Amino acid sequence: MSSSEYSASHLKVLEGLEAVRKRPGMYIGSTDSRGLMHCLWEIIDNSVDEALSGFGESIEITLRPDGSVEVADKGRGIPTDIEPRTGLNGVEVVFTKLHAGGKFGSNSYTASGGLHGVGASVVNALSERLDVEVDRDGFTWALSFKRGEPGTFEDSGEPTPSAPFTPFLDKSELRKLKKAPKGATGTRVRYWADPQIFTRGTDFQLDGLFARARQTAFLVRGLSLRIQDDRSSEPVSEEFRFDGGIAEFVDFLAKDAPLTSTWMLGGAGTFTETVPVDDGQGHMVATEVERNCEVGIALRWGTGYDTEFRSFVNIIATPKGGTHQTGFEQGLLKFLRAEVDRNARRLKVSSNSNEKLEKEDVLAGLTAVLTVRLAEPQFEGQTKEVLGTPAVRNIVSTVLTKALTEKFNSGKRDDKAQSALVLEKIVSEMKARVSARAHKETQRRKTALENSSLPAKLVDCRSNDVSNCELFIVEGDSALGTAKLARDSEFQALLPIRGKILNVQKASISDMLSNAECAAIIQVIGAGSGRSFDLSAARYQKVIIMSDADVDGAHIRTLLLTLFHRYMPQMIQEGRVYAAVPPLHRVVVHNGSKPKETIYTYSEAELSGVLAELKKAGKRYRDPIQRYKGLGEMDAEQLATTTMDRRHRTLRRVGMTDLKAAELTFDLLMGNDVAPRKEFLISGASELDRNRIDA
C-alpha cells in the first residue's frame, strides 16, 4: 500500500473491552495458565482489599467441575446504586468500564493492590460468561455478562455459558434475587474463562493457588482463605489462616537453622506527590497530596548462605523488586557497614583494608519479608511486578535503619548476643568472599612447567583430564603410605586428613576457613565454597571418601559429608561424591581352587555365610580370621584389589534428592540443638545391633 492510499480510514479505534480481547497479553501477561491464574487473582485481590480495609475476614474460592471458578467474600459488596456520570449501576461500571473502581480516591481504600481499575473488567472481557451476586441493602442483587456484554441467560438448570443469552438493548438492570440475611454484605463472582482467548488445555493450577493463598494469609493477619476443588471425583479442600503475620511467613520460608530469632521491624513515613484529583466538577486538576507509607519487615539470619527475600506492596507480590526493595538493601548495607566499622577491633577487621562489606555479604543466610502499604502506588505495568514510587526508597531505608539501631543498641541480653552473631557472620562472609576471589584468581591446574600452591600433603595425579581424575580423601598418614603404592598415579590423587575434621554444622564460616583440614579440602578441589562455588572449576570428577570400616571411620565420613553438604552441595547433587567400601575381613582358604585363595567380606553376616559355605564344601581356612581395624593394616596389593582398583572396587555414590529434608537431617544429627538428637537416639536404640559397635 502506498502512502497516498494510507489514510485515516485505515486507523482502527478499539473501544471499551474490545481492546482487552484484541490484546489480552497487555493486561494479563499471557494467555496460558499464568494468564489464567492472573485473572483469578485479580478477582481474589479485590476481596482481599476489602479485608485489608477491615471488611470481611474470610474468602472462599471454589473450582467447579464445569471449568468455572467462584470467589465469595463478606466485604461491603459492590455498590448497586447508579453512578451519576455514566448512568449505570455500580456493578456494571466495575465490570465493563476500564479504569473505573473505588481505588482512585483515598476515601474507600487507603491501601489496596488495585491501581489501574481494570482488574475486574479485564476478567469480564476475557470470560465466556461471568455472573455477579451482591449482598447489599437487605437484598441479593445479580448481573450476568457474556464476553463483557451485560444481559440475561436463560438457564434451564445449572448455569452454563452455552445457555441462550439476551443482551440488554437500552439499559442494564440488576436482578433482585431474594432478601439477604439481616446485616449480610458481600460479593460472589463466578466466571468461565473464554476458550477463544486462552490456550487449549489451560487450567487452574491447584499448587499455585495454594501457594498464593498461603502467601496472602501470611500477609493479612487473621484473614481466612478457603479453597475448594470440586473438579475431580475426590474433592480437595484447604484453608489458610495465620495469626502470626509476616513473622510466621519468615519462619515458613527459612530453609536453614536459625542464627537469630525472627525480628519484627516496622514504622511509617510520609511523602508528597503531585497527582490529578477530581475537583468535583468533572475536571482533573494537578494537586499536591500527602501520602502515608507503612513499612513492615520481618527478618532473620540463618546458618546457611542462601538468601530468601520476598517483597510486597499492599499484599501484591513484587518479584522484580522496585524502590522499596532498593531502600531495604541500601539501608541494610549502610547500617551494617557502620556497625562493622564501629566494632572493627573486636571483629578483627583492618581499618586500612580496601575491602568492605558488599550486598551479597549481608544478604547471605538472610530470610526476610518486606511489606509496604500506601495509597495509589505507582507500579510498572498492570502485572504489578515492580514498584516505581520514588519516595518509598528513603522511607523504607529510614525505617529499617532506625529499627536496627534500636535492636543493636538494646541492653537486652538476647539482642546483644544475636547482634554480635550477625556481625560475626557477615564479616565471615566478607572474608570468605575475598578469600574465594583471591583463590580463584591464583589457583590453576598445575602443569609440569608451573609451581603449585596446593597443600604439600596432597599427592596429586599426573593427568590433566578432569573427567578421568579421582581424589581419595584418606584417613590418616599410615593409610596414605599404603594408598600411594596401591593407587594408579596417572588419574588417582590422595589427600590425607588427620582424624576427625571440624563439625561445620556447628562452626562459623571463619572457623571453617581457619581449620587446616577443611581449608585443604576446599583448596584441593579448587571450585571454591558456599556462594562462590563453581562446579565447572572442580579439579576432580570423583571425590572418594576412604575411611576405616569402623565407628570412627563412619564418623569421619559423616563429618566430611557435612562439609560437602554445607559448602559444596552441588558436588553431592551432581553425584560426584563417593564413599569407598573397604572390607572388614580377609579369609585365606588353604585347599581352595587355587593356592591361598583369598575371600574378602564386608559385614559380619557375610562372613558367617562364607564360613558356613566353606565348611559345607569341606574347605579349610586360616584361623583366626583377619579383621581389619583400619586401612593401614592392608598391604598395597590388598588395598588396590578391594578398594582402589576400578576393575574390582565397590563405591557408594552419595546422593541428595530433597535439599530441605537433607538440611533438616544434618541439623538434627550434627547441629547445636542436643535435645532433638538425644530423643532421636533414644527412640532408635531398640533397633541397634550391638555387633555393629566396634568396641
User: Which residues are annotated as catalytic?
Assistant: 475, 548, 550, 552
Of the candidates 121, 131, 140, 134, the residue with the CA atom closest to the CA atom of residue 190: 131
Where is 615: in which H helix or E strand? helix 604-616
Distance, CA of 289 to CA of 275 (rounded, Å): 7
Where is 321: in which H helix or E strand? none
Distance, CA of 380 to CA of 366 (rounded, Å): 27
Distance, CA of 382 to CA of 99 (rounded, Å): 11
Distance, CA of 544 to CA of 470 (rounded, Å): 7
CA distances from 482 to 404, 457, 497, 634, 640 (A): 57, 15, 15, 7, 9
Distance, CA of 546 to CA of 172 (rounded, Å): 81
Q: In sequence order, which residues have a C-beta less than 8 Å from that of residue 235 and are 6 or more positions away?
A: 228, 229
CA distances from 609 to 510, 616, 693 (A): 50, 11, 20
Cβ neighbours around 686 below 10 Å, total: 6
**Residue 544, strand partner residues:** 472, 578
Where is 433: in which H helix or E strand? helix 413-442
Where is 585: in which H helix or E strand? strand 585-589
8 Å CB contact between 127 and 145: yes
Of the candidates 465, 462, 442, the residue with the CA atom closest to the CA atom of residue 452: 442
Q: Looking at this protein, which amino acid is placed at residue 173?
A: E
Q: What is the CA radius of gyration of the chain?
A: 34
Distance, CA of 241 to CA of 79 (rounded, Å): 28
Contacts of residues 618-621 at CB distance under 8 Å and 24 or more positions apart, as own/partner, are: 619/589, 619/590, 619/591, 619/592, 620/589, 620/590, 620/591, 621/587, 621/588, 621/589, 621/590
Where is 596: in which H helix or E strand? none
E strand residue ranges, 207-262? 224-229, 236-240
Q: Looking at this protein, which amino acid is placed at residue 488?
A: D
Distance, CA of 543 to CA of 654 (rounded, Å): 10
Distance, CA of 125 to CA of 191 (rounded, Å): 11
Where do we find the cell 500500500? 1
Distance, CA of 461 to CA of 492 (rounded, Å): 5
